[in-house]
Amino acid sequence: MAVAAVTAALLVAGCGAGGPGGGKDGKSGQEGKQSAAGDRGAGAAERPGDAAGARRGELPGVGPALRSRIPAAARQAVVVRGAGADSPDATVTLYDKGANGWQTQGSWPAHNGRRGWTADHHEGDQRSPVGVFALTDAGGVLPDPGTRLPYTHSAAFTPPSYWSRNTRHDFDYVVAIDYNRVPGTSPLDPTRPLGQAKGGGVWLHLDHGSGTSACVSVAKPAMAALLRALDPARHPVVVMGDRGRLAG
């Protein structure tokens, strides 16, 4: 299959599913108006909750179920805290683990799946998968901004022309979330080890002001900061879900 065809299939079935908002024309019904997270300014840092957890050196708001799934070798964690089970609004916070436990490195407003979250993600449900996943590979339309992750620089990340105009830069920078994919491959690789029905192509990418099909999106400065910070030697993971499931 030609590269362009592979890419189109991945985008439409993964982060696309008919467009980042999930509609046939790439619109979510919320497009053109900021959600609560977007209204705060997509590039602005935000203070995560659960100060007591932070003082203990733990990941704030992450309960034993998901905490037990974080690999012992992990020294970097991107925590995506969804505002609610059915909400597209979220906060992304980067943590680094040192001698005193997990410490906040930065926090930004974000969006997740336009219909919220699910512990049993399927193709087209427009919900982001809850869980702990490795972050091993990156790429984008734009050149590498200075990441230590393997980076695929390719115009093949460009969204299809029929998507709405405000999604045209969604994939300028992406980090693949290792949900139903082969780690160590380009984010453009369409291979889905769990099968097509379980969805795939779930990425961290640039925000367009509303919910996605399953991906997590932040403003360009936040994506650039994440790319520069993530270090494969520190075995970065993403811990993601709505606040209720995160705390479980």
Q: Is residue 41's pLDDT more than 80?
A: no
Cα dihedral: 35, 41, 43, 44 (round 10): -120
Looking at domain 3-247, what is its CATH homologous superfamily?
A: L,D-transpeptidase catalytic domain-like (2.40.440.10)
- If phi > 0 it is left, if psi is from -120 to 50 it is alpha, else beta; for residue 185 that is beta
How large is the average pLDDT for residues 187-200? Answer: 98
> Can you tell me the mean pLDDT for 22-49?
36
Q: Which residue type does 175 have?
A: V
Q: Is the pLDDT of residue 38 over 80?
A: no
What SS3 state is found at 202? coil
Tokens at 66, concatenated:
């998901």
Which of 36-50, 124-138, 154-168 is least confident? 36-50
Is the pLDDT assigned to residue 46 strictly greater than 70?
A: no
Place 166 in a pLDDT band, splitting at 50, 70 and 90: confident
The answer to whether the beta carbons of residues 88 and 211 sit under 8 Å apart is yes
pLDDT at 169: 95
Query: For 94-109, how does the pLDDT look when each residue is reduced to its tens digit (9 = 90+)?
Result: 999 999 999 999 999 9
Structural element, H or E, at residue 229: helix 220-229
Q: How far is CA 200 from CA 105, 106, 160, 192, in A?
A: 28, 27, 18, 7
Q: Which helix (H) or strand (E) holds 64?
A: helix 64-67
- pLDDT averaged over the chain? 85
pTM of the model: 0.83
